[in-house]
Amino acid sequence: MAGRRRVFPGAAGVCLGLALLVGCGGAAPDSARADVERMLGRRATAVLERDETAYRSTEATTGAATAQLATGAAEFANLRGLPLASWSYDLTGFHRSGDRATAEAALRYRIRGYDKAPVTAVRTLTLVRDDDGAWQVAADEPSEKGTEQLWEQGAIRAVRGERSLVLGVGRSAAALREYAGLADRAVPAVTEAWGEDWARRVVVLVPESLEEMAGLLGAPASGYRGIAAVTTGEAGGSAKAPADRIVINPDAYAVLGGFGRQTVLTHETTHVATRAHTNAATPLWLSEGYADWVGYRGTGRTAPEVAPELRRAVAEGQLPAALPEDADFGFSDDSGELALAYEGGWLACRMIADRWGEVRLNEFYRAVGEHGKREGAVEGALKEVLGTTVDAFTEQWREYVRAQLG
């Protein structure tokens, strides 16, 4: 019994009688949390079974909560295009005040055929109790540590390619099929370069605008203004991790030609393929340089064509003294500095492929990741795989840059 305490003779009968109601010496347990968990279970089942009536029964219908009723109905409709394998809520926090409550919940869902494990979206729920004592959702929003989900931005349209799933909002099926075609060509190109030890399929998200892209990523839109796409996923992701998402910036993507669009999708698909071997040990010059190397591999583009900013720097006598630092890859208003970092990383990986061979380049990438932490990772992989040192490799890279772009 909750709050059980010592009972003196003569008081036992009174105590036992009260215990049936409140527990001896304690307060009645609040069943609200369990009631909310059961309600969220019904809500999850309604989403999976596409049962709108059951879903609406979990939505508050009176007072200020009527706005949530309209929002919830719209989001339920927006979800119809998402091929779900699972959908559940895990209540992680609950604070009640009378007939109102605030809850923190981990929404976990899987996309059928792509996610080996659930994606987790952290939500804040405002709850109210109706006249019959049933708890209902008055608001369902991303928590402070969470991000928007695609269905909150509009109706999801799904297009399946041979090796891809494209999910878009505010896009025609024809437009999404173009993305699927690019992704379907990227997958075998990446497999040819990297190998077959990855899922060999990709999920592409196409929001309606840069602002919506930023909402999905939980960051200011200004940081992605010139970035055509970003890949999200778990560093060092295992076979049981949810599938990475390639998130498109439609504003930046629209100004690219056909070649640029394909290169971007192949670059981002490379990040998907290499995810299990990319972690804190991997410097950005290697992860971004390798993705660019795969993106341009087999295209016939020359070094001056791919690295115009670095070529300009070399022509002005500003040959870089060292490989790009991680900070050089930060999204900022200085697109020239960012281009120098990407071009420098690309040429480093291209040099390894040219001088040691593509197999050694892949072995080097994997060896760096196997180290698990940054300290000593590159140094060790350079020695073990390429038989060189950081200083010697850097000098070789500087000479390679000069020879290719001078």
Question: Measured on CA atoms in the order 31, 33, 38, 42, is the torsion positive or negative?
Answer: positive
Q: 73-97 burial string, b = 16+ CB within 10 Å, else e?
A: eebbebbebbeeeebbbeeeebebe
Please name the residues in contact with 375: beta carbons below 8 A apart, sequence gap of 6 or more: none
Residue 61 corresponds to which tokens in the numbers above?
Answer: 């219908």
pLDDT tens for the chain, residues 1 to 406: 344 333 333 433 333 333 333 333 444 457 999 999 999 999 999 999 999 999 999 999 865 555 666 678 899 999 999 999 999 999 999 999 999 999 999 999 999 999 999 999 999 999 999 988 999 999 999 999 889 999 999 999 999 999 999 999 999 999 999 999 999 999 999 999 999 999 999 999 999 999 999 999 999 998 888 899 999 987 766 666 789 999 999 999 999 999 999 999 999 999 999 999 999 999 999 999 999 999 999 999 999 999 999 999 999 999 999 999 999 998 665 667 899 999 999 999 999 999 999 999 999 999 999 999 999 999 999 999 999 999 999 999 999 999 999 8
Beta-bridged to residue 106, according to DSSP, are 90, 122
Question: Can you tell me whether residue 231 is helix, strand or coil?
Answer: strand
Q: What is the set of domains in the chain, with CATH numbers?
A: 32-146 (3.10.450.50), 149-278 (3.30.2010.30), 281-406 (no CATH)
Say how far apart CA 395 and CA 385 lie, in whole Å.
18
pLDDT of residue 66: 58
pTM of the model: 0.88
Question: Can you tell me whether residue 360 is helix, strand or coil?
Answer: helix
Say how far apart CA 191 and CA 180 lie, in whole Å.
17
Residue 38 corresponds to which tokens in the numbers above?
Answer: 């059961």
Instruction: Spell out the alpha helix ranges (H) of 257-357.
Output: 258-274, 284-296, 303-306, 308-315, 335-355
